[in-house]
Amino acid sequence: MNAVSSLVALFALGLTIVFLPVIGGALFAMVFFGLFVLALVGVLTGVDDHTVRQKDAPTDPTAWRNGGSNGMR
């Protein structure tokens, strides 16, 4: 389904570019650009999250009182 959405997005973007220089084509270009945006959202929602999870370092909230330099134990 992701491949179909990407093809629709590319096709709609191409039609948007084609209809812009045509007289009266701005109305069609807006419709095709809206279709492009919707298809692009569909493509981006199918992308997996590949972010790296950061491990939280244990901190001591009283380190500033106890003379710790950065609160790490």
Mean per-residue pLDDT over the chain, rounded: 83
Query: Reduced to 3 states, what is the DSSP secondary structure of residue 72?
Result: strand
- Which pLDDT does position 35 carry in this prediction? 95
Task: Give yes or no for residue 6 having a pLDDT over 80.
Answer: yes
- Which pLDDT does position 60 carry in this prediction? 73
Buried b (16+ CB within 10 A) or exposed e, 51-67: eeeeeeeeeeeeeeeee
pTM of model > 0.85? no
* Amino acid occupying residue 9: A
Task: Give yes or no for residue 72 having a pLDDT over 90.
Answer: no
C-alpha 45/C-alpha 16 separation (Å) is 22
